[in-house]
Structure 1
């Protein structure tokens, strides 16, 4: 078929001979299919452009990243080894190590390795005495070293707010450990116990600027706590620049940590060894000699002592002159100085949080434990001014402020003229529906517990409580009735309120709009509201209200048994508890033998 012959024969027979690649042959169809498939594959696979290739090459793979990180860690180790060598010709690698730590491309692991390498290097330099006063190095080198130290501590302070928890804890640990080494070096060189000022200032600013730090491990030491409170007070009292609210909030959180104040020298614990050593006997002897020359402090409750006091300027010099002459070391070993520093810090922080109601509530909730037990009378007066301002907030904040005011009045013999007027203003419908209702009743019972209160004032509170019981929930009414009963037994003059004939709301002389409880005409009224409670829909409440129609021979109620009632407790009381749910009265059920169809009987069309 293909035939032989030369090219001529082949060319002449081209039109006559059917080639083997004709479209009708199976082999041709196979090759065409293969070629078509290859064409589709080449269309689907795009050709990479040069820009794509350059972009892919610019993104390192995971293996290259790992190799780069390993190289960074090796470089840190090499620089550390160079700086730890006492015979190193230069300290310039210290700057390179700082660059590694502060690099924006460094991973948390690389930063962690770099800051601890720098810590070991600085400790080595401190041990060699390069940071001690009077060292043999030149002033230029010392200035350069202190500049690198400032960079390092500032970077550690910035890490206190890092999202990586290990870096935060590591930075805080390094700062305090470095402080100990530097303070010991300075104290040994000067033969005077002291704290390294630059590092300590960086620590204080970093702590106040960062929220959520766990400082209990360090603030348990009395020297660290006293030094921190001293600088905290200075920061809060500064007006240029004034501390921000977040900074004051952090300060309040730190003050909440302090749960004790040393009362004797044996209770003192020191973080810095130099401060742990007792002051010299010569200083104590001079201090004792000064004490003999000072006049005795007057009795705070003696009114005649007020006229014997010197002028304010002389009094300030006499009172604070001795404390001002004491060194930091001597103050740290004097327990009264710790109490005074804590109170001073509180009095500096409180005005800075007055603009925030939330922070004021938090402070009022802990003042009675953290501050009030350590106050003297003059300090209590200053604290009372801030607390009185919190009363204006109203609501929960005002209630807490009133409670703290009453605490100061009873313990410090202070006076707040408008206390009962402000307390009377809180008695409205809203207070009986708040979740802090039980706390309010506790405060109310405490403030009305004195038998020396005027009957007119007590009658106004009794009448206001009775009027509010008409619209109060049953859980609140259950608290009102025992409180009114106790007040009537404690103040027999007010018994006329239940013996007088029922007047009704239209003829009642009581003025509910009067703000002063002394001018409300409550003593000329009657407690007709409590009489209406005998028909209350809640059976226990109606039964309890009938106590006023019986002789007052029963003892006073224990209010704690009634203050924590709610709809949940009332439901549990009716059902026999949360778990059992046993009804006191079994519901009606159909008898099994009864074949009567109740649906047909009751369903009428």
Structure 2
């Protein structure tokens, strides 16, 4: 009996196994029949004008009104071929001498073409990734054919049809791959597409101030980082440019379009996170497109005044405008000095800040009092800084002292008055540095000393203690390469100590090898739950292990 049951199960499972293959065969037959129908309708349109109604049939087969999520891509490709042939044959060209019935046919064909393009836009917005990319390719092909074969259609096509394509790409559902395809295959490849994309994004960002599509707009613009230089020859065009359109071959026109697009983005209601993302790409992706970089001044100064990480990110862009465009910002160093706080040394932008600070303080024309304030503030912050930050601060100070030797009095200053020296030796002195002063030229740091760095020479981390000693040694090294210290982390320093290259111990550490029975005894505790009064009672209880 078990054997009979088993065989029946096998027969049942084999019967079920054949069902999917039958359904697959039926689906393949249906697909083959659909392709045959599409090919027949397409060929009839090519044979005679009397079959133009087949265009409407094909559009109905595309059936995007009910659902654009699962379109018939074979129908969409066939319609693209149909309209491309009709445009190449001149059936879309209008002529004043044409008969009335010819004009009616032309108008009907244009209407069907617009209906087809609207269907492609719906597919781009709602369908799966493969369908979205296919619809984008077909839409761009129609644009190329219209510009190439319809006289005078260039401006209208770029301002209407292409505008709708950009909107569909930006607003597409799960359209990351679609946007990448648009950027890589069209925007970055063809200069006329890039030029008109700038214009459409500027208009889109100015009208629809929504943060939902902010990242998409920024990604499209930032991908266009190949700024044409003076004398650049524009040759890579998607569609043949009109002979009178000088703007497509002008470097100034391209920069102006990009500048307008970025300004429209910057004028949006952007969040703090979005502001930071813009500041990160400011120098390399945004400023090169601006023929008038001073237009960025308001955005950068507002960001610089925010404080925290936002101010750190705004530094490079603001300094570029000051250095290259001679823009005036009198409170630059005052604001820079205020950024030196405890949070800075724990920030993930710490390395970037020190690179910029090294540039800002490099000029030998800066007053010694100003330089001394920065050095003293960093020394004070180093007392509570993580080891990975201290190993950057000390070499940074070394380089500062080499560039500004008038500040070296902070490391060693002889007191010539013997009586005063004796008094200071006996009673000490107050640090003349005022940490609450906001003006770096009036802190009194130049009259102070770097006792903080000498304190760090006894730091618990041996690497920090060793590097802090360079301030007390002769300055025989010309400069330290700051890049060798910027990327240190606390985890990396610990792993270097505990890694495979372990350092041999010079002295065996003292450890407790007798485990005490107890530390606090009953005699230490009072009846009321407190502690016996007096240090003697405390010590008796602490050391009584019996």
TM-score range, shorter chain: 0.7 to 0.9
Please tell me whether residue 127 in structure 1 is matched to residue 88 in structure 2.
Answer: yes
Report the Cα distance in structure 1 between the residues aligned to 2:373 and 2:258, rounded to whole angstroms.
41
Query: In the TM superposition, what is the alpha-carbon distance from 1:105 to its structure 2 partner?
Result: 6.5
Please tell me whether residue 147 in structure 1 is matched to residue 99 in structure 2.
Answer: no
Report the more deviating stretch, 433-442 or 107-116. Answer: 107-116
* Structure 1 segment 2-151 matched on structure 2, within 5 A: 73-89=35-51, 91-103=52-64, 111-134=72-95, 137-151=101-115
In structure 1, the residue matched to 2:265 is 349
Report the Cα distance in structure 2 between the residues aligned to 1:403 and 1:166, rounded to whole angstroms.
41
In structure 1, the residue matched to 2:205 is 236
Report the Cα distance in structure 2 between the residues aligned to 1:164 and 1:155, rounded to whole angstroms.
14
Q: 1:270 aligns with which of 213, 237, 241?
A: 237
Change (3 A) 1:560 1:88: same
Change (3 A) 1:196 1:415: closer
Q: 1:519 aligns with which of 436, 442, 460?
A: 442
Q: 1:568 aligns with which of 468, 472, 491?
A: 491
Report the Cα distance in structure 1 between the residues aligned to 2:273 and 2:516, rounded to whole angstroms.
62
Whether the aligned pair in 2 keeps the contact of 1:100 and 1:106 (CA below 8 Å) is: no
Please tell me whether residue 441 in structure 1 is matched to residue 354 in structure 2.
Answer: yes
In structure 2, the residue matched to 1:466 is 379
Query: In the TM superposition, what is the alpha-carbon distance from 1:178 to its structure 2 partner?
Result: 0.8
Q: 1:380 aligns with which of 262, 287, 293?
A: 293
Whether the aligned pair in 1 keeps the contact of 2:351 and 2:486 (CA below 8 Å) is: yes
Whether the aligned pair in 2 keeps the contact of 1:76 and 1:100 (CA below 8 Å) is: no
Change (3 A) 1:224 1:510: same
In structure 1, the residue matched to 2:334 is 421
TM-score under structure 2 normalisation?
0.77
Please tell me whether residue 585 in structure 1 is matched to residue 501 in structure 2.
Answer: no
In structure 2, runs of 5+ residues without a counterpart are: 1-22, 416-423, 518-546
In structure 1, runs of 5+ residues without a counterpart are: 1-60, 280-326, 590-597
Report the more deviating stretch, 125-134 or 112-121. Answer: 125-134
In structure 2, the residue matched to 1:546 is 469
In structure 2, the residue matched to 1:245 is 211
Report the Cα distance in structure 1 between the residues aligned to 2:447 and 2:502, rounded to whole angstroms.
48
TM-score under structure 1 normalisation?
0.70
Report the Cα distance in structure 2 between the residues aligned to 1:124 and 1:132, rounded to whole angstroms.
13
Report the 3-state secondary structure (helix = DSSP H, G, I; strand = E; otherwise coil) of the residue aligned with 2:150.
helix
Query: In the TM superposition, what is the alpha-carbon distance from 1:68 to its structure 2 partner?
Result: 6.0
Deviation per CA, 1:571-597, whole angstroms, max 9, x where unpaired?
34334xx5x3444338979xxxxxxxx
In structure 1, the residue matched to 2:255 is 339
Report the Cα distance in structure 2 between the residues aligned to 1:562 and 1:164, rounded to whole angstroms.
48
In structure 2, the residue matched to 1:205 is 167
Query: In the TM superposition, what is the alpha-carbon distance from 1:183 to its structure 2 partner?
Result: 0.6
Report the Cα distance in structure 2 between the residues aligned to 1:347 and 1:248, rounded to whole angstroms.
13
Query: In the TM superposition, what is the alpha-carbon distance from 1:103 to its structure 2 partner?
Result: 4.3
In structure 1, the residue matched to 2:281 is 366
Change (3 A) 1:209 1:71: same
Report the Cα distance in structure 2 between the residues aligned to 1:221 and 1:362, rounded to whole angstroms.
27
In structure 2, the residue matched to 1:184 is 148
Report the Cα distance in structure 2 between the residues aligned to 1:100 and 1:468, rounded to whole angstroms.
72
Deviation per CA, 1:266-316, whole angstroms, max 9, x where unpaired?
4531111344xxx4xxxxxxxxxxxxxxxxxxxxxxxxxxxxxxxxxxxxx
Report the Cα distance in structure 1 between the residues aligned to 2:278 and 2:457, rounded to whole angstroms.
43
Report the Cα distance in structure 2 between the residues aligned to 1:505 and 1:361, rounded to whole angstroms.
47
Question: In the comparison of the two structures, how many residue pairs are matched?
Answer: 474
Report the 3-state secondary structure (helix = DSSP H, G, I; strand = E; otherwise coil) of the residue aligned with 2:369.
helix
